[in-house]
Every structure is written in C-alpha cells, then in structure tokens.
Structure 1
Amino acid sequence: MKGVVKYLKKYTFLIILAITFVVIQAILNLYLPDLMGDIVNKGVSRGNVDYILSVGWKMLFVTLLNVAAAIVSTYFAAKVAMGFGKDLRSHVYKKVMNFSLNEVDKYGVATLINRNTNDITQIQNVIFMMLRMVALAPVMAIGGTIMAISKSPKLTMVLLVSLPIMFVVMYFIVKYSMPLFKSMQKKLDNLNRVLRENLTGVRVIRAFAKTEYEKKRFEVANEDLTSTALKVNRIFALVFPLILLIMNFTIIFLIWIGAIQIDKGTLEVGTMMAVMQYIMQIMFSFIMISVVFIFLPRASASAERVAQVLNEKERIKDVKSPKKLEGMGKVEFKNVTFYYEGGKEPAIENANFEINPGEVVGIIGSSGSGKSTLVKLLMRFYDVTSGEILIDGVNIKELSQKDLRDMISFTPSRPVIFSGTIEENVRIGKEDATEEEIVEALKTAQAWEFVSKLPEGIKTQVSQGGTNLSGGQKQRLAIARGIVGKRKIYIFDDSFSALDFKTDAKLRKELREKLKDATKIIVSLRVATVMNADKIIVLDKGRVVGIGTHKKLMKSCEVYREIVSSQLSEEEIA
C-alpha cells in the first residue's frame, strides 16, 4: 500500500475531519452502556420512574448525536476514498498514455485496464473502510476496556482468554489469504484477456468454427479463477462463525461469573449489563478489524500491481532541452538496428537510406520483413537499438515526442475508428478543422462518395470500432483523418489494403497532387500500390536489399523481382 498512500496527502484535512467524527461517534457509543447501567441500578431496581425518564431522554439525545457523527464521518470518508480513487485512476491513465509500445507489450492491454479499474476500486473500498473502522475500532476497544475495568475488573478478566484466541484466528486468516488474493488478481487478468480476445476476434472465431474451442478456453480460465475464489471464500466463511462462537462463549462465561458475584452481593445487575455491553463493543471492534483484514490482503495485492505501473520507468523520454525543426522533412536512417523485447534476431538490421522532402516513397517486402517496424521507429513508438534516425539532420531523440508526432501523420494498417460522428473522427487529425477542410479531406481519401450519400452526412454517428462501416470505408475515414492536418511527413502503413485497385489508384493520384510538398511514405504488400513511387525501399528479413525506382529494381533486386512476378502477369510487368 506504501506506493499509493502518498496520493492521500492532498486529503489530509478531510481525513482529520473524518477521524475526528469517528472518534466522537466512538466516545458516544462508550457513554451509552454507562447510562444504561445507571438506569438499571438507580431507576429500575428502586422503582424511580422520574430517574428512568430523565436518563432515558439523555440516552436518546446521545444516540441522535451518535447517528449525526456517523453520517458526517461517513460523508468525509467517502469523499476521501472517491477522490483518492479518481486521482489514482488519472495518474495511472496518464502514466500508461506515456508508455512506449515496449511497456504496453510488457503488461498487455487487458491487465492495464484491470489495474486501472478493478484494482483501484479494491484499494478505494479499503481506504473507506479504514477511515471508518480502523479509527473506530481502537477507540472502542481501548475505551471499552478502560470503562469495563472501572466497572468490574474481575468480569473484564474474561478478555484475557478470548482476545488471544481471536488474534490467533486473524493471524492464520491473513497468512493464508494474502497469496491467494495475489493469485486471484493474476487469474482475473487472464480471464479478462481471454474474454477480450474472444470479443474482438469473434468474426475469426466463427469463420474457423472455433466457437466450442474458445468456450472451453474461457471455461478453463473461469474455472481457474473460481477455484481460487472458492478457496478464499472457504477461509473467510470460517471467520464470522469463529468470532461469534468466541463472542458467545465469552458472554456465557461473563454471565456465569456475574451471576455468582450478584448472588454474593458484590455486584449490581446494572453494572454487569454495562460490562457486558462494553465487552460486546470490544469484541465488535475486533470484528471490524477482522473485516478490514479480510479485504486488506486483496487491496495490498492490488496496490502492489498499481504501484508497479506507476513506478515503471519509461524507456522513451524527452530530452530536457528539445530541439526545434525548421526543415521540410528530410528523413535519414543511419545504420539502424532494432530488436524487439526478448527477440533473438533483429527486426531491422543495419538500415541505411534517405527520403527527400516531397518524395513519394514505397516500402515493400514480404510479411514479417520489418516494414511496419521501420515506420514505428520513425514515429518513435520504439527506440532504435543502435544507429540513429534523423529528420532534417536532427536525431529524433533530440526532439520532443509531441513535436515529432505533430509533424508526422500516421495512418495504421488497422484503422481505429472511435464512437461518435464521422466529423469527430476526422477532426482528431486537426482539432480546429473547418467543415470545408473535413469535406476536402474526405474527397481526397475517396470517402466523400459514400459519406455524402448518408442521411446525415458528416454528422452520421459511427458505432464503436466502426462496426457499421465496411473495411474499405473505415480505411478511407482513417486516411481522411490522417491528411486533414498539414504535416511534413505522411505515413500510410498498408492503409490501402482494403481498397479496390481503381480506388487505390485514384487515391494515390490525389495524394500526390494535394500533398506534393510533403514527404509521403507508403508501406504496402501490393506492388501496384508502390510501383509508381519516386523511390521504392525493398526489405527482406529486416534488411534493406534494394532502393530505387520500379524499373531500376526490376534489373538489380532479385527479391523485388520475385514479389512482382508473384503479383503481376508477364503482360503487366512488360
């Protein structure tokens, strides 16, 4: 919990208020048994109705104050817990949003979501309980013990037997539950991961008739989590029965000793009842502590997982004094080599090439040759293992990440469409884009043809993930988003794959005309998409094996010739 408790500092005043009212509530609780004892000893036993009424009204007033203190303390405790949860979620979210793809890959999307939702909720609940119960229980336990001893030291001696037994019970509960809670959180991550994969890949699962297989996979993960949860619940199923058993035996023993003393005339009935109430309060305070101990191990496991994210060192950081670029967007790769985390072979090996401003550059290669990795390195989603990437002669590590990404437009191979209108999706590329600019971007991306036919045009609502759009429509919207803002460099990472050849050709023609001063990098598996580029970079197993125009590469690059011959007929090649 240490790693996250520091976020409570700003709520110090509210915490003090919450604890103050909890203490007031505890003191009022301790006063009530004393009043009840007086009523029995001085009112009931002597038939003094006036005294009974007088003290009774006092008890009622104290009870009302007690209720008011409980309400106020609960309000402040809830405000602290909810505010703490909100702040912690914000910090985790901001931290994750600054992660490079290395850190995201390390944790996985499912566990990051789980840590920012379920784990923080667990911590938040325990903070609320601790402010209410951990402050209340010690005051009641200590105060109850003092009051009980002041009434009858002999009767209070019963606690010397019952309390050690309760401590032993709580020790074993915490000892065995802590590892189980840590295991539960990991298994919950696994269940979320399986569920997320099944939901996002439902079309593939059904296409390959793997529904039953995925059901079994989910059941295995679900059963694994359930079995651990049942172990935890079996332990906690014993907690309250054991505590109630200890409490009931304590009360029986107390009544037995009290009855002997009353019979001897050394103890009054009201005093015995008051002591009984105090011992009940002491026992209940330990029940409250046991409830906290039940949830504390799980919250501690959650806090550890959240703190791990917050303490994660970001591998990609901005330099203290980032440089500013004034050039046109010349790109240079110098001896660039890159390994993925845990990779034995380089994804990119000794890449050397230049891309001049205004050029249309195609990057082609077989699947897994490193095409997407190359552009991710340029976007600085990952840092190169060795070598350097320069833009206008400046190493991209010397630029702020914001400035770097403000000058580059990136359209990924898988279009990401957000819930909202078409207009809102395109405006992500340029926040202050006018309606005319949005329409122009849609026309350039060949998307206006279908958008203009929609009843509400650019105001049409798009469902989450763009499920009410076809693959080609989503790609064209993503391209429109990428080109609506003015950038020096435009990257299209296999962004035309869902387009037919006619639309592909029209789009490339429009991009060449509308973005003539900008550097355009087109990554593709299709020869037809890149063959008219000013320069084509051919990749094979992470190495640059050819650079040049289509005609030049057909003469000098065997890998390129193989790709071309596999896609085009002899007539088309000629």
Structure 2
Amino acid sequence: MGIYKRYFDKYKWMFLTAISCVFFEGICDLLQPTIMAQIIDQGVKNSSLDTVIRFGLLMLLVTALGACFAAARSILASRVSQSFGADLRHDLFAKIMRFSEAGADKIESGSLITRMTNDTSQITQFVNGIMRIFFKAPVTCIGSIILAVILSPELSLVMFAAVCLVAVFIVISMKMSYSRFAKVQYAIDRVNTVVQEYLLGIRLVKAFGRYEEEEAKFDEANTDLLKKGVSSQLVIACFSPLISLAVSLGIAAILYLGSILFGRGEIEVGRIAAFINYMAQILSSLIMITNIFNTFVRTKASDERIREVLESEEDFTCMEKEAGYESGEISFHDVTFAYPGGSGMPAIKNLTFHVGRGETLAIIGPTGSGKSTVALLCLRFYDAAEGKVCLNGTDIRQMDCRTLRENISIAPQKSMLFTGTVFENIAWGNPDAMEEEIRQAARAAQADEFIRKMPDQYESILGQGGVNLSGGQKQRISIARALAKKAPVLILDDCTSALDAVTEAKVRQGLRAADGKTVIMITQRIGTAMAADRILVLDNGEKAGFGSHDELLASCEVYRGIFDSQIGMEG
C-alpha cells in the first residue's frame, strides 16, 4: 500500500465522499425489503389502501435516494480511478526514465509496455471497483444478514449454511486463480515483446524472407497466452455457477422451511417475502464479493509487476546538481568492469589512460575488445568494479549524473532519431540552441547539404527512428545533435561507419573546428584513428598500446596487425 498512499492522499476527500455515498446507497437497498414486508403484512393483508400508498411512496423515496447516491459514487469512482491511473502511468514512465542500465537490463521493453498499459489498467479497474462495489457488497451482505436474523432466527440457520459454503468456494477460487493470472500477465509480456521485435526489425525480416518463422514465433506466444487465459478463466467458470447453486439451494430451503413456519402461524407472508429478498441481496453481494476477489487476484499479480518497476534500481545520484565544466579531461585509473548478469569475464581490465582538454583520442581494437564499454563507463551508465573514472580530476562517482552527462555529448553507435522535424532532432540535446547554431552543427557534421535538399529543409518531418533517411544521413544528423549540445567532451562511438572516406574526412575536419572540445573517437577504421592526437589500442579489454600512430606502428603488435589488414597490405 505504501507506493499508492500518496495517490489516495491526493484524492482523499473524493474517495471518502464516494464511500459515504456507497454506505447510504446500501442502507437504502436494505430498507426496501422491510418496507415491502410492511406493505404486504399491514396493507395488503388488511386491505388498507392508505397503508399501501403510504409505504409505497416511502419505498419510492428510498429508491430515488439510493439512485442519487449510486450516481454520485459512480461519478466520483470514475474520476478518482482514472486520475489514479494517469498518476501511476506518469510515475512509472518517470521511473523508467531514471532506470540505471543494470535496472533496464532486467526488464524487457515489451514487458515495460505491458506494465504501463495492461497492468496499470488492472489497478485502475480495481480502484474503481473498490469505490463502487467493494464497500457496498459487505455493507449490503452484512446488513441483509442482520435484518434477516431479526426477521426470522429459524430461517437464518439455512442462510448461514449457504453463506459458509459460498465462503469456502471463494477461498478455494482465490488460491487456484492467483498463479494462473500471474502467468497470463507474463504471457502478454511475451506477445508484446515478439510484436515489438518484429516491428523494429521489419526490414531485416523482409530482406531475409523470415515471414513464416516470425509468424510461427508469434503463434507460439499467442497460443501460450490463449492456454493461460483459458486456464485462468476456467476457475471462474467453474466456481461462479457453484456459488449461484449454493445460494439458490439456500433460497429453496428457506421457501420450504418458511412454508412450514407459515402453516404453524409462526411467520407472516410479508416476512417470508422480505427474507427471500434479503437472501437475494446476499446472493448478489456474494457474487460481487467473488468478482472482487477475482479482480483482486489479477490486481495482486499486476501490483507485484508494477512494484518491480517502481522499486528498481535508479540511476546514480550523489548530490545537488552542479555547474558545468569549461574543460573536459577524461582519465581512467586501473579500471576493471564486467557487465552485470553477463559471463562474469571483465569487459575492461586494469585500464589506465588520460585525455587532456582539447585533445582527440581514438580508441581502436578488435571486435569485443571493450571500446564501447569505455563510452558507457564515461557516461556512468555502469560503475567500475575496481579503479575510478575521472572528469577533470573528479571521480565521477562523486558527481551527480545530470552534471556529468551535461558535460559529455555522444553520437552513439546506433543512430537514434525521433519523430519530429530535422531541426527538433538536432536541437534535442540543446533545446535553447539558436537556429544558426543548429545550422552550424549540421554543416560541421556534413548534414546541411542534404537537409537543404529536403522538401521543407530543417522543418522536414522525420518518421519514427528516421525511417525516411539513409544510414549515412541518420549518422550525420546524430553527429550534428551531439555537436549542438556544446558539451566539453564529445564521444563518437563508431558513428561514421555508414559514411564514405571522403565524407568522414570532412566530418573530422568539422570536428577540428570545434575549438577546445575533447573528442573520443571509437572506431574500427585505421584511417580515422590515424587522424587523432593519440590512439588507445584495446585487446580483450586490456590496453595493448597508447600513443601516436608512428609510435604504435613501431611498438604495438595489435595495432600493426589492424594497420596491415586495412592499409598496409594494400600498399
């Protein structure tokens, strides 16, 4: 309940008002059978029209009041539950935004979507049900039992037997339902994940002609959801008729026993009719309580999944946000790191290097040597297991993450663009940038030329992920976005792989114009590395060499092998 407390506090007055309406609605429902008994026993039995009219008008008044209370609680319940759901979705999204990389790795994106939509809707429905039904059912049920006992203690024995039998069915139903509904939610996760993976890789699927395999994968997930859904609904399908049967048998027994008592003159017809009405209200209340418990079982499974998100590990924060830095020195000191949940083998081992302000460092090495891991550690997506990473001599673990990341700009290995205009995508990292600054960044990234050829130039709309651009165009806009941020440190994580050599050389020339910026270029190309002030060579996560191109050719076997494979053998 703790994570939802502030939501209830926010809407407390509306919640309490709705509960009050539910209580008075229940009282109105409880009065009606008693008034009906008076109409029969005092009016009809004695042929008193005045009595029938008097109690009839009273019943109409009570019914009208009950309808007013019902309308009020329905309106309040809808308002509170929908507001509750909106706040919960907002907090879930805000929490996801603060996920650490380790936390994000634990829950698939498809599952996160399910939790923000399906699970949140389940919680919202439960809150609505609490205000509309949960409190009314016990009030009506308990009140009906009390009034029924007052009417006839003898008939109440049959009623208690039926209620106890129904209670047993409810408990068994809950125990059997919980695990099944939890499995349904995870099956929905799987369906969402399969659909999401297909949509993200739709071009690859078409290129490889993997339609049947993808369809088979979806059918497997969909069939699994079908089986689990049927399994969970079977419990309800079996127990709901049993509950109705138990109460119906109770009503039949009451009619039989009531006829015997009436024959003896121990009870009047009106009381028997009122008792049956109370039994019907008890039946209705018990069915509502059963539905509530079934909803509760589903909600409990959704609640656990939502709590898993809200209680996940957040991004690292240490202190108040600090002012930005003017310089950008990066240094690693004996850094060792292994990915959480991975093989356990270090991706980086005892790595030490330093990049001074305004210098350009190229990081090169074989695939899997830990190049991109360096970028992740610089941005503190993960913390080093041993050693430390410093920005301007300060251990980044002593810095607030927002401060750290405001001082580092990155053009990632996989260019990620958003739905919106070209201008908005470039200005994404610096919303306050002026138009000329955006154009300057685009020119430096060699993107201005093709942007000006687009129908609306910088106001041209990009599809989701930049689907209406080529790979090289997306990379150049990504680089322009990184430049527009104007951070002291710029990391280019193999973001020129789709560019030809001439365009890449022009991009490097544009980067040199960014005076005073510290640049870290992660690359597979020896030609790119040669243009840097210094080169860091990685091999299996360890530093194999560090220095200029000429120094590494003479002293580093790994670098020399890369050079020979790309350039040297051609010469």
Same fold, TM exceeding 0.5?
A: yes
SS in 2 for 1:335: strand
Give the corresponding residue for 1:336: 335
Report the CA distance between 1:39 and its aligned residue.
Answer: 1.8
SS in 1 for 2:361: strand
Letter in 1 for 2:212: E
Give the corresponding residue for 1:553: 552
Q: Show the 5 A alignment for 1:184-199.
A: 184-199=184-199
Unmatched tracts of structure 1, length 5 or more: none
SS in 2 for 1:158: helix
Give the corresponding residue for 2:252: 252
CA distance in 2, matches of 1:5, 1:491: 43
SS in 1 for 2:135: helix
Letter in 2 for 1:565: D
Pair 1:312 & 2:312 matched = yes
CA distance in 1, matches of 2:420, 2:62: 56
Whether the aligned pair in 2 keeps the contact of 1:323 and 1:398 (CA below 8 Å) is no
Report the CA distance between 1:541 and its aligned residue.
Answer: 0.9
Give the corresponding residue for 1:524: 523
Pair 1:297 & 2:305 matched = no
Unmatched tracts of structure 2, length 5 or more: none
SS in 1 for 2:482: helix
Report the CA distance between 1:538 and its aligned residue.
Answer: 1.1
Give the corresponding residue for 2:64: 64
Taking a change above 3 Å as real, the CA distance of residues 19 and 323 of structure 1, as seen in their structure-2 partners, is closer
CA distance in 1, matches of 2:313, 2:467: 36
CA distance in 2, matches of 1:35, 1:499: 86
Whether the aligned pair in 1 keeps the contact of 2:244 and 2:283 (CA below 8 Å) is no
Whether the aligned pair in 2 keeps the contact of 1:3 and 1:304 (CA below 8 Å) is no
Whether the aligned pair in 1 keeps the contact of 2:488 and 2:517 (CA below 8 Å) is yes
Report the CA distance between 1:321 and its aligned residue.
Answer: 6.0
Q: Show the 5 A alignment for 1:77-476.
A: 77-314=77-314, 316-320=315-319, 326=325, 328-342=327-341, 343-476=343-476
1:372-402 C-alpha deviation (Å, 9 max, x unpaired): 1001100111111111111111111111111
Whether the aligned pair in 1 keeps the contact of 2:491 and 2:521 (CA below 8 Å) is yes
Whether the aligned pair in 2 keeps the contact of 1:156 and 1:279 (CA below 8 Å) is no
Report the CA distance between 1:439 and its aligned residue.
Answer: 1.6
Letter in 2 for 1:334: H
Whether the aligned pair in 1 keeps the contact of 2:100 and 2:313 (CA below 8 Å) is no
SS in 2 for 1:440: helix
**Corresponding pairs, count:** 570
SS in 2 for 1:318: coil
CA distance in 2, matches of 1:301, 1:269: 48
Instruction: Report percent identity of matched pairs.
Output: 38
CA distance in 1, matches of 2:427, 2:536: 32
CA distance in 1, matches of 2:324, 2:484: 21
CA distance in 2, matches of 1:489, 1:549: 20
CA distance in 2, matches of 1:550, 1:467: 38
Report the CA distance between 1:322 and its aligned residue.
Answer: 6.9
Whether the aligned pair in 2 keeps the contact of 1:327 and 1:392 (CA below 8 Å) is no
Report the CA distance between 1:6 and its aligned residue.
Answer: 5.8
CA distance in 2, matches of 1:194, 1:209: 17
Give the corresponding residue for 2:499: 499
Report the CA distance between 1:26 and its aligned residue.
Answer: 0.1
Letter in 2 for 1:207: A
Report the CA distance between 1:274 and its aligned residue.
Answer: 1.0
SS in 2 for 1:369: coil
Taking a change above 3 Å as real, the CA distance of residues 484 and 324 of structure 1, as seen in their structure-2 partners, is closer
Report the CA distance between 1:248 and its aligned residue.
Answer: 1.8
SS in 1 for 2:11: helix
Letter in 1 for 2:448: W
Greater mean deviation of Cα atoms: 331-340 or 524-533: 524-533
Taking a change above 3 Å as real, the CA distance of residues 421 and 326 of structure 1, as seen in their structure-2 partners, is closer
CA distance in 2, matches of 1:159, 1:527: 87
CA distance in 1, matches of 2:437, 2:455: 20
Whether the aligned pair in 1 keeps the contact of 2:163 and 2:247 (CA below 8 Å) is no
CA distance in 2, matches of 1:321, 1:462: 36
Letter in 1 for 2:556: C
Report the CA distance between 1:410 and its aligned residue.
Answer: 0.9
Report the CA distance between 1:53 and its aligned residue.
Answer: 2.8
1:475-509 C-alpha deviation (Å, 9 max, x unpaired): 11111111112210111111111112221111111
Whether the aligned pair in 2 keeps the contact of 1:129 and 1:292 (CA below 8 Å) is yes
Taking a change above 3 Å as real, the CA distance of residues 143 and 228 of structure 1, as seen in their structure-2 partners, is same
Whether the aligned pair in 1 keeps the contact of 2:102 and 2:313 (CA below 8 Å) is no
Greater mean deviation of Cα atoms: 150-159 or 489-498: 150-159
Taking a change above 3 Å as real, the CA distance of residues 142 and 75 of structure 1, as seen in their structure-2 partners, is same
SS in 1 for 2:332: strand
Report the CA distance between 1:54 and its aligned residue.
Answer: 2.9
CA distance in 2, matches of 1:96, 1:121: 18
Poorly superposed stretches of 4+, deviation over 6 Å:
none
Report the CA distance between 1:451 and its aligned residue.
Answer: 1.4
Letter in 1 for 2:540: K
CA distance in 2, matches of 1:459, 1:552: 47
- Calculate the TM-score normalised by the size of structure 2: 0.96
Report the CA distance between 1:111 and its aligned residue.
Answer: 2.1
Give the corresponding residue for 2:540: 541
CA distance in 1, matches of 2:278, 2:265: 21
1:13-58 C-alpha deviation (Å, 9 max, x unpaired): 2221111110010000011111222222223333333332332222
CA distance in 2, matches of 1:2, 1:282: 33
- Calculate the TM-score normalised by the size of structure 1: 0.95
Report the CA distance between 1:277 and its aligned residue.
Answer: 0.7
